[in-house]
Structure 1
Amino acid sequence: MAETLLEMRGITKDFAGVRALNGINLTVRAGEVVGLCGENGAGKSTMMKVLSAVYPYGTWGGTIQWQGRELRAASIRETEAAGIVIIHQELMLVPQLSVAENIFLGREPRGFGGFIDFEAMYAKAAALMADLKMSHINVAQPVAHYSGGERQLIEIAKALSKNAKLLILDEPTSSLTRSETETLLGLVKGLKARGTACVYISHKLEEIEAIADSVTVIRDGAYVGHAAMADIKASDIIRMMIGREMTSLFPREAHPIGEVVFEARNVICLDPQNVNRRRVDDVSFQLRRGEILGIAGLVGAGRTELVSALFGCYRGPYTAEILLEGKPITVRTPKEAVRHGLCMVPEDRKAHGIVPDLAVGQNITLSTLDDYTSGGLIDENRELRDIDAAIAQMRIKTASPMLAIARLSGGNQQKAVISKMLAPKPRVLILDEPTRGVDVGAKYEIYKLMFDLVKQGMSIIMVSSEMPEVLGISDRVLVIGEGQLRGDFINDGLTQEQVLTAAITPLPHAA
């Protein structure tokens, strides 16, 4: 058995009197991949920030043993020098700098006179890339030229340049395509074979099953258990994470579907960088009362562009004819859309869904702030009552409604964004990747909410890259491929193969 590399014992961490970690344990052996699982807000990222000294020694309780000695690191620089390197969910790269400059930022090779030795830096970066079988990446190119998946690999190369013995990956595939994910998992397996240990944090249990040697589960800041991956199933992990059994990941419920309430005609979106290219190519569809309409397709197919145009926030030139309850409406801005009863939860909550420095409650009421204003004054008591009700409805884990929303986990931020878009009581709700970066328990809650809403007569359009989610939740599925509507299927026995075939098959006139 490999030697023990890391032992965290009885770790505690408080924020403003609220205990975020309560006696957490974690053991990692050399060359081992440990999957760290828990719901949003369970304390996974906080735990790793303790380990990597984002929260320095003295600000938390318990002990950390690293290679047989107690670790009392006061800074990230100290943990990195010891061989512990964390790659955060939000990548820490400078897009305008080259790949090599990013890898050695702050540690640049120096030559005569103390000047940066660019030739040596590029040579070292290229050798590192070749060693990781990433020779296709030009280390002299700015990072901005590369995809999200390639940037994630560059972050790993940066970590390994620091001689990492333990690599911490926090939700590394949350924004990656399937092929990019496979590349990343292959790289981690290769690192394991070379003796590099890894703590792999992910809500995607299929990735944990594919790559982890063992799994540690935490819940509400407390240690639940640890097991070898060979001795545990995904259903066991889910039960440990949420503290209860889940009979189905998709709680599909019968609900009435009525008449057509929303119609989009001839939606065309032009590429902002090249107006001769259509990102959405003359798409038309209808939506019925109480219906969940799933929109599926491959990455880059035009799904987000389509719903952005409907909500009035597409950044390039576009045209769209929109009818609500049979009447034409004009939607050129999100404010106009909300006024007509059309709301959208955006794909990128960090960029478009939240105001990070505002409180959780203030984010929730941003879309309805006028409702609380009279004579230039805000009725703060009524606003707070509604905030408390929204937090309770969505089970948002927050120490206080006044806490900055940036302090919440990604899943709880997502719940707050959904609450914000439900506040205006829309007739049509668009959800673009509603469960991205959300744990299995929170997904279940969002699905239950969606079925409650359609039972009340709301209509929902859901864009999702997760095929099981589309098939598990939707009443009907639109398939988009290269900006075209390539399929409109009733979800009765619909299979992933049928959806994928439609997505990759050009329409006859476009062949």
Structure 2
Amino acid sequence: MSDYLLEMQGITKSFSGVKALDGIDLRVRSGECVGLCGENGAGKSTMMKVLSAVYPYGTWGGTILWEGQELRAGSIRETEAAGIVIIHQELMLVPQLTVAENIFLGREPRTKSGLIDFDRMNIDAQKLLSDLRMGHINVMLPVSHYAGGEQQLIEIAKALSKNAKLLILDEPTSSLTKSETAILLRLVKDLKSRGTACVYISHKLEEIKEIADSVTVIRDGRFVGEAPIAQLAIPDIIRMMVGRDMSNLFPREPHPIGDVVLQAIGITCLDIDNPTRKRVNNVSFSLRQGEILGIAGLVGAGRTELVSAIFGAYPGQHSGELRLEGKTLRIRSPREAVRHGICMVPEDRKLHGIVPGLGVGHNITLSVLDDFTQSGLIDENREFSTIGTAIDRLRIKTASPLLAIANLSGGNQQKAVISKMLEPKPRVLILDEPTRGVDVGAKYEIYKLMFALVKEGMSIIMVFSELPEVLGISDRVLVIGEGELRGDFINDETLTQERILTAAITPLRQAA
């Protein structure tokens, strides 16, 4: 009898003749959490789709042993019946339905007459949540009532209601706050103590160190190795992931900073649902040529609203003045911003950055499509020459420029969105959380690109939630708190995470 609950042996998977997985192994014991690590495009999500039968038996090679027996599942329903449940990075909840209705969606308890037994469903849901130390959640309220962190916990409760023996968590904390992340990690520890096994996929290696018992690393679709977490430091995991030493994660490079390029004066944004509330309140700042200006602050501080207003993308009422090289601009849409030389990579690439069903290349050229159009026709040769150069520049991993961008990993999608916003050759580039959901290797490439761009004279505004990134990359840091500008700091040896955080949480009247 095998010691392992799950064994994946020599798994292979190809798309259009291109191998996405080439002999991958993975082993998980009951009550064990295995951290699955690798760069974007390494094959982690593909591997989990094989395991959960998103890709059914017969479409891949190798062997899966489940509880010592070969598993040949043809559908997700079969793997869930066996006890394998996957929680995807994008939550699969219906916001308008109640918590209980979401947990038992498609498996609702019935009365003798065949109707849904709502009383029993609510009682069962509340008991399940209480057992998971989530009893504060009201199962009769719509899911939309709860924040992202609690929705992630509800998704886990939904998985466990299916009697999960193995829980696959794919980037579960990518959009969570630190406090929400702490709650989720505590829940995973509780599940381990009850015998539930977990495969935990995350680019946040400090979470892997905290929660995993062992680590399996894959690179470019191949198995690199596995080891107990106690034997690995974070630099060791990074080295296995990227195949090289990355002792300096923030490759700061000296670059000249010139005169003021952009001035934002009195930017104010009103809340979409409550116009009496100001999400951004009279914020003014300047940006110099060749400067990387970091914007820091807590979640909900108004950072995204501020940069969206500058780009003409804020959907609510907003006001203020913009001056580019001394000339006053009136920007009412992103199209006008791009025309004036201001481009932005949005925070939510899936919602605002890509057209999922469109090819990678066509996503990249969307921002400059007019450049290839003559007499209403597109010069495809010129367009594909531009696409090829863009893909090579950012090393975007794709089987073909025509492959739908939705099929790419999150990091490669992000590179494509950045490429799209570089095509208009902007004077000012705004990056809102450009490394969210991106592995350490891709982060490094994005940082290197930023320094190359400012050396060429471009100016960059970037929003980062992770303070080490803010300090590792910025020339100057603006701190936003509750919609107000609470600090403007030169990033020298005196600037620390503590100074930034103190400014973020201290109201102006107290600071004064």
- Report the TM-score when normalising by structure 1: 0.99
Query: In 2, are the aligned partners of 1:2 and 1:30 still within 8 Å (CA)?
Result: no
Give 1:8-47 correspondences, 5 Å limit: 8-47=8-47
Q: C-alpha distance in 2, partners of 1:313/1:58?
A: 46
Correspondence 1:389 to 2:389: yes
Cα drift, residue 247 of structure 1: 2.3
Write the letter of the residue equivalent to 1:372.
F
Query: In 2, are the aligned partners of 1:365 and 1:420 still within 8 Å (CA)?
Result: yes
What's the counterpart of residue 182 of structure 1? 182
Q: Secondary structure at the match of 1:4?
A: coil
Query: In 2, are the aligned partners of 1:2 and 1:29 still within 8 Å (CA)?
Result: no
What's the counterpart of residue 418 of structure 2? 418
What's the counterpart of residue 503 of structure 2? 502
Q: C-alpha distance in 1, partners of 2:178/2:327?
A: 41
What's the counterpart of residue 158 of structure 1? 158
Write the letter of the residue equivalent to 1:361.
G
Cα drift, residue 227 of structure 1: 0.3
Number of residue pairs matched?
Answer: 511
Write the letter of the residue equivalent to 2:258.
G
Residue deviations 1:59-102 (CA, integer Å, cap 9, x gap): 00000000010001111111111110000111111111111011
What's the counterpart of residue 297 of structure 2? 297
Give 1:80-479 correspondences, 5 Å limit: 80-479=80-479
Write the letter of the residue equivalent to 2:33.
V
Q: C-alpha distance in 1, partners of 2:382/2:3?
A: 58
Write the letter of the residue equivalent to 2:505.
I
Residue deviations 1:170-206 (CA, integer Å, cap 9, x gap): 0000011111001100000010011100000000000
Q: Secondary structure at the match of 1:365?
A: helix
Write the letter of the residue equivalent to 1:504.
I
Query: In 2, are the aligned partners of 1:35 and 1:208 still within 8 Å (CA)?
Result: yes
CA shift in 2, pair 1:481/1:2, >3 Å = farther
Q: C-alpha distance in 2, partners of 1:62/1:2?
A: 18
Query: In 1, are the aligned partners of 2:41 and 2:397 still within 8 Å (CA)?
Result: yes
Q: Secondary structure at the match of 2:298?
A: coil
Write the letter of the residue equivalent to 1:501.
T
Query: In 1, are the aligned partners of 2:471 and 2:496 still within 8 Å (CA)?
Result: yes
Residue deviations 1:115-154 (CA, integer Å, cap 9, x gap): 0000000000000010011111110111111111111100
Query: In 2, are the aligned partners of 1:345 and 1:434 still within 8 Å (CA)?
Result: yes
Q: Secondary structure at the match of 2:470?
A: helix
Correspondence 1:48 to 2:48: yes
Q: C-alpha distance in 2, partners of 1:357/1:99?
A: 31
Q: C-alpha distance in 2, partners of 1:15/1:4?
A: 30
Cα drift, residue 16 of structure 1: 1.0
Q: C-alpha distance in 1, partners of 2:355/2:319?
A: 29
Cα drift, residue 510 of structure 1: 9.4
Cα drift, residue 358 of structure 1: 0.5
Query: In 2, are the aligned partners of 1:344 and 1:432 still within 8 Å (CA)?
Result: yes
Q: C-alpha distance in 2, partners of 1:222/1:133?
A: 39
Write the letter of the residue equivalent to 2:388.
D
Q: Secondary structure at the match of 1:276?
A: coil
Query: In 1, are the aligned partners of 2:99 and 2:138 still within 8 Å (CA)?
Result: yes
Query: In 1, are the aligned partners of 2:2 and 2:68 still within 8 Å (CA)?
Result: no
Q: Secondary structure at the match of 1:200?
A: strand
Write the letter of the residue equivalent to 2:267.
V
Unmatched 5+ residue regions in structure 2? none
Write the letter of the residue equivalent to 1:15.
F
Residue deviations 1:317-341 (CA, integer Å, cap 9, x gap): 0002000001111111000000000
Q: Secondary structure at the match of 1:114?
A: coil
Q: C-alpha distance in 1, partners of 2:361/2:175?
A: 27
Cα drift, residue 404 of structure 1: 0.3
Q: C-alpha distance in 1, partners of 2:49/2:107?
A: 22
Q: C-alpha distance in 2, partners of 1:20/1:218?
A: 11
Write the letter of the residue equivalent to 1:420.
K
Q: Secondary structure at the match of 2:5?
A: strand
Cα drift, residue 233 of structure 1: 1.1
Residue deviations 1:234-262 (CA, integer Å, cap 9, x gap): 11111111111112110000001111010
Q: C-alpha distance in 1, partners of 2:3/2:137?
A: 35
Q: Secondary structure at the match of 1:107?
A: coil
Cα drift, residue 15 of structure 1: 0.7
Write the letter of the residue equivalent to 2:16.
A
Write the letter of the residue equivalent to 1:505.
T
- Report the TM-score when normalising by structure 2: 0.99
Write the letter of the residue equivalent to 1:458.
M
Q: C-alpha distance in 2, partners of 1:135/1:295?
A: 37
Query: In 1, are the aligned partners of 2:235 and 2:247 still within 8 Å (CA)?
Result: no
Residue deviations 1:447-500 (CA, integer Å, cap 9, x gap): 000000000000000001011000000000000000000000000021000000
Identity, % of aligned positions = 76
Q: C-alpha distance in 2, partners of 1:109/1:323?
A: 61
Cα drift, residue 2 of structure 1: 9.7
Q: C-alpha distance in 2, partners of 1:157/1:126?
A: 10
Residue deviations 1:283-312 (CA, integer Å, cap 9, x gap): 000000000000000000000000000000
What's the counterpart of residue 485 of structure 1? 485
Query: In 2, are the aligned partners of 1:42 and 1:221 still within 8 Å (CA)?
Result: yes
Query: In 2, are the aligned partners of 1:310 and 1:320 still within 8 Å (CA)?
Result: no
Q: C-alpha distance in 2, partners of 1:385/1:489?
A: 42
> Post-superposition, which runs of at least 4 consecutive aligned residues in structure 1 deviate over 2 A?
none
